Amino acid sequence: MTSSNLLADKICHHLDVIYQGIELPIEHKTLANQLISTMRLSPNLETAMPMAVSQSLWTEKDTIMITYGDSLLQSGETPLKTLKSFLNQYCQPHINGVHILPFFPYSSDDGFSVIDYSSVNEGLGDWVDIEAISSEFNLMSDLVINHCSARSAWFQNFMKSEGIGHDYFYTAAPDIDTKQVVRPRTSDLLKEVETAQGTQYVWCTFSHDQVDFDFRNPEVLKAFVEIIRQYIDHGIRTFRLDAVAFLWKELGTSCINLDQTHEVIRLLRSLIEQACPQAIIITETNIPNHENLTYFGNANEAHAIYNFSLPPLLVNTLITGNGDHLKRWMMGMPPAQQGTTYFNFIASHDGIGLRPAEGLLQENEINVLVNTMQSFGGLVSWRTTENGDRKPYEINIALFDALQGTQAGPDKYGIDRFICAHAIMLAMEGIPGIYIHSLLGTGNDYDKVENTNQNRSINRHRWEFSQLQDLLSQPHTQHHQVLKRLMHLIELRTEQAAFHPNAVQFTLHLGGQLFGFWRQSMDRRQSIFCVSNISLETQILNLADMNLIQTDNWKDLLSGQEITESLASIELKPYQTVWIANYK
């Protein structure tokens, strides 16, 4: 690392690493100054030295709701206005952030095939609507950085071989050996395209409507820095780098997690943190756990990484009634360095990813998980391995339906099991993200799957807002019960210093059917023992196993039960959770 702390020198260092061995038509220093100018910064700006202590940009009061811009519809108004009404009515003040999935014009993949990065999909609203939300909530936006739509102006210019974008896309010879390339899809990697300069073969990691960028061309990097600056201007404070692990391609390699990819993220971090010190970067890297952890870098890359192993492990725990794998994983997770954290979630717009479970669950256990989810109405998406084998990549199912029972089948504990999953997730080290359809207890949407012929549509329901409001007002509905119980958990969480995303976490050893961990606030004043019965049978929690300090008073935050000296144990009903905290 350069010893200088001037921004221009720092960006030059990043560029030296990214473009090592590549002859550019522009000097690195000139390119660095152009990037800095685009972000409206000074090249002589002094930055923090490499070993400077990073500050956390989050607290226990942060919870993010994940949603599409049109998950809620109301006649006579734009979906983004309806979304803001929902946020104001049902989420404030305890949910203070919202991740609106790609809200730009798109051609496929429910937004992740972006046609135009600079405008809002007119079917959702406009930048005024986005700014109205970002003025009251921490707004997370996707930066779909690996690829764009084949219908974008950039790709149309590629086919015409002229104009902006004509050289933005990665091409390769049709006869190259791509066996080492790691991909999440089974479609052909290369797409044959007729251009003004003849037939070319464009790299498509995901689908033939999603054409991959070629970051060897610095003009692509410049274009994305300009996009980032625009998003900051509209109030976006959290950048989710979508599919970023695939960003850099190099023939003869796996084309995933390459060093240049990591350095591009570090460069973007260097620019973003100077332009907007409150902004954070989250990398979306749906890959095995040990690979995912590398995106923290040395606290100089992603501020947060998705905890992709949590969903399959937690669902597996609750359908088997055994928490050994989850416990072993938690024990092996390193505490996030100061200035970094995990982003925890157990449901999303996609599904339950299975690659992050590789090495954590045995293949036969993954097969049992897949079969159980299929028996609950779930679907399976597949990928092709390097050997040409077909393996399950993702389970597509609404989390509410995924937890309706165990391997033995559906039972009466569905809601309790569902709440238990969230009680575990909300108490863990990291920032929690809750998918809107989990918050609302939405089930599988088979009609949408039939209409779109896409497996992931099963968990992308669109609610008529008035119908939803009616259901939420009725205490007997699953939607009312789930929202009420989850908001109670979130409210309690925001009040506990021991639930700071970087507070100490220690795994407890309480047997196979009790899963627990201990959190301690950063000032060491508050401790919380978080214990869940993950089984169908009532379990006894022996308080002697908890080592409660006798000079403190203790109570279960969830039930309000006082923990007296005479109390030797607590009976936990199926899927009951306790948060036993000390108080003065």
Let me know: does 471 contact 429? Beta carbons within 8 Å. no
Q: For residues 390 and 326, what is the distance between their CA atoms, to the nearest angstrom? A: 26
Q: What share of the chain is helix, strand, coil (3-state, %, to 5)?
A: 35, 20, 45
Instruction: Return phi, psi of residue 207, to 5°.
Output: -150, 170
Both tokens of 541, joined, read 């929690």
What tokens appear for 405 in the block?
């029972």
Alpha-carbon distance of 548 to 553, in angstroms, equals: 9
Q: Residue 349 and residue 576: Cα distance in Å, rounded?
A: 27
Q: Are strands 198-203 and 72-73 parallel, antiparallel or unpaired?
A: unpaired
Query: Rounded to the nearest 5°, which phi and psi values hold at 128?
Result: -65, -40
**Catalytic site residues?**
242
Phi, psi of 514 (to 5 degrees): -115, 125
Q: Are 498 and 395 in contact (CB under 8 A)?
A: no
Measured between alpha carbons, how far is 268 from 18 in angstroms, rounded to an integer? 12
Q: Does the annotation place 242 within a ligand binding site?
A: yes
**Residue 150 near residue 208 (C-beta atoms within 8 A):** yes
Query: Is 460 annotated as ligand-binding?
Result: no
- What one-letter code names the amino acid at 386? E
> Got the DSSP string for 216-270?
TSHHHHHHHHHHHHHHHHTT--EEEEETGGGS---TTS--SS-HHHHHHHHHHHH
| 445 assigned binding-site residue | no
491 φ, ψ to 5°?
-60, -45
Counting other chains too, the contacts that 471-476 makes at CB distance below 8 Å and 24 or more residues apart are 472/90, 472/440
Question: CA 277, 282, 287: angle at the middle one, nearest 5?
Answer: 160
Phi, psi for residue 556 in degrees, rounded to 5: -85, 115
Task: Confirm if 11 and 44 have CB atoms less than 8 A apart.
Answer: no
Q: How far is CA 53 from CA 106, 280, 340, 500, in A?
A: 40, 16, 11, 18
Write out the two tokens for 582: 């000390």
Rounded to whole angstroms, how far apart are CA atoms 566 and 560? Answer: 17
The annotation status of 233 as a binding-site residue, yes or no, is: no
Contact 43, 271 (CB under 8 A): no
Q: Which two tokens stand for residue 255?
A: 């084309």
Name the residue among 578, 422, 556, 426 with its Cα closest to residue 501: 426
Token pair in block for residue 77: 């108004």
Q: 350 among the known binding-site residues?
A: yes
State yes or no: 241 annotated in a binding site.
Answer: yes
Q: Which residues fall in the annotated binding site for substrate?
A: 109, 147, 240-242, 349-350, 456
Q: Which residues fall in the annotated binding site?
A: 109, 147, 240-242, 349-350, 456
